[in-house]
């Protein structure tokens, strides 16, 4: 009887081993769970309900699966056109990572090295001066730059370029030269920019500015092909990003979202100044701004990055190049970093902010170490989270840049409540 019982147990084990295998849970989402989806719906709807945004949409992939998509509110509030998957938005500085990828395709071809002087290819930027203040008679004091601007400097915002016109001496020079005027060509932009003194010595500070516009100029100069044509052929077309453009043709303008300016709590005013930027063909094709896109188009770009440079068997960059772009390039000696610390515990790579430490408090943006990301002036956002194989794109058309904490709320909804980083101590 005892032997019979043992035999029956053995038989049951044998049958169970031969039963249908359970579904492999490896590709199941672990970040964007049902609870996360509920948080996302609630958060995004609340911004529309409070009338702090006219409309918002979001798309998230995790482990090659679409795990979240939803839209709330209007692309055009006055026309009652709802946000949807085909809505075209102004992405502003989310143009920058696309430009960086275009530039790095030439890097892979051996056309330049990151530590090459910019002036090796662009004599417009040779013998740069640095503005260091004024003398007793309020005359500007200029010094020779301590070293040449390198190509690496223009990929990480350490070149020394002044960020925008203001009442200062450099600001006034910038206003007069107006290098980023859309009627300039990239060549004219470079000539004007190279004639303006730098705001600091190359490599000494991080200051956001026109560096990526210079990258577009470099793509043109090195490749011998107009920038818009080069990025179209070598990045956008290869990824199937046909709706990512500088110019929106007549037949697609019905999908073009309106821009709104927030004047106060629940008070939005429709903006009419930016529309013409995209329905006319301008001489200047900026590297730092100027593209429009759709959720799915930009997600293709993000998915290419999370797959280390390849999407659907189409390779744009090598894995080691993507890793280089997504690695912090700022030395600890670069302590002046403008607004970058507001992004969290981050450094800066090649046209991406890069998270180097977990959030230190609940007040910081949530995210994973190793993620890389950027955003746009109209409050758009995307990030790539290699650890979780997650990519997220958030679209909205709101000026000024995220005055309502939308990005933090969106990230908190994705990753859940703040958890202090665990410290592994030695026994």
350 with 158: CB under 8 angstroms? Answer: no
Q: How many CB atoms lie under 10 A from the CB of residue 185?
A: 15
**pLDDT per residue as tens digits for the range 221-245:** 999 999 999 999 999 999 999 999 9
Query: What's the distance, CA 163 to chain centroid?
Result: 18
Multiple choice CATH, 29-104+225-415, 3.40.50.1100, 3.40.710.10, 1.10.238.10, 3.40.50.2000 = 3.40.710.10
Query: Average pLDDT, stretch 352-363?
Result: 96
**pLDDT per residue as tens digits for the range 15-67:** 444 444 444 456 788 999 999 999 999 999 999 999 999 999 999 999 999 99
**pLDDT per residue as tens digits for the range 173-208:** 999 999 999 999 999 999 999 999 999 999 999 999
Whole-structure pTM value: 0.92
Between 413 and 427, the more confident residue is: 413
**pLDDT per residue as tens digits for the range 296-313:** 999 999 999 999 999 999
Beta strand 398-399 with 259-264 is parallel
258 with 397: CB under 8 angstroms? Answer: yes
Q: Residue ranges per domain, the chain?
A: 29-104+225-415, 114-223
Between 177 and 11, the more confident residue is: 177
Kindly indicate the confidence band of residue 1, based on its pLDDT and cuts at 50, 70 and 90.
very low
């Amino acid at each position: 009887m005892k032997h019979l019982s043992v035999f029956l147990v053995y038989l049951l084990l044998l049958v169970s081993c031969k039963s249908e295998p359970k579904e492999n849970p490896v590709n199941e989402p672990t970040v964007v769970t049902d609870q996360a989806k509920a948080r996302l719906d609630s958060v995004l709807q609340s911004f529309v309900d409070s009338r702090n945004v006219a409309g918002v949409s979001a798309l998230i992939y995790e482990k090659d699966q679409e795990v979240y998509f939803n839209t709330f509110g209007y692309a055009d509030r006055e026309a009652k056109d709802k946000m949807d998957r085909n809505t075209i938005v102004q992405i502003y500085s989310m143009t920058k990572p696309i430009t960086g990828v275009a530039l790095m395709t030439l890097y892979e071809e051996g056309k330049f090295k990151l530590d090459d002087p910019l002036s090796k290819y662009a004599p417009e930027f040779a013998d740069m001066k640095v503005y260091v203040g004024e003398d007793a008679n309020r005359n500007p004091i200029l010094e020779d730059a301590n070293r040449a601007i390198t190509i690496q400097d223009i990929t990480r915002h350490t070149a020394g370029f002044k960020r925008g016109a203001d009442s200062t001496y450099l600001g006034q020079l910038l206003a007069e030269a107006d290098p980023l005027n859309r009627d300039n060509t990239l060549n004219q932009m470079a000539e004007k920019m190279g004639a303006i003194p730098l705001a600091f010595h190359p490599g000494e500070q991080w200051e956001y500015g026109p560096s990526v516009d210079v990258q577009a100029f470099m793509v043109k100069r090195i490749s011998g092909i107009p920038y818009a044509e080069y990025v179209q052929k070598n990045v956008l077309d290869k990824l199937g990003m046909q709706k990512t453009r500088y110019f929106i043709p007549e037949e697609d303008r019905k999908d073009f979202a309106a821009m709104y300016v927030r004047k106060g709590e629940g008070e939005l005013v429709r903006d009419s100044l930016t529309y013409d930027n995209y329905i006319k063909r301008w001489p200047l094709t900026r590297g730092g701004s100027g593209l429009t896109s759709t959720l799915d188009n930009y997600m293709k770009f993000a998915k290419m990055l999370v797959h280390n440079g390849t999407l659907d068997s189409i390779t744009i960059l090598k894995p080691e190049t993507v890793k280089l772009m997504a690695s912090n390039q700022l030395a600890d000696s670069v302590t002046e970093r403008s607004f970058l610390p507001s992004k969290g515990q981050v450094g800066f790579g090649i046209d991406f902010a890069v998270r180097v430490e977990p959030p230190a408090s609940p007040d910081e943006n949530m995210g994973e170490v190793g993620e890389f990301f950027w955003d746009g002036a109209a409050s758009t956002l995307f990030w790539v989270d290699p650890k979780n194989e997650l990519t997220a794109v958030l679209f909205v058309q709101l000026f000024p840049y995220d005055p309502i904490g939308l990005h933090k709320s969106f990230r908190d909804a994705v990753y859940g409540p703040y958890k202090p980083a665990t410290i592994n101590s030695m026994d």
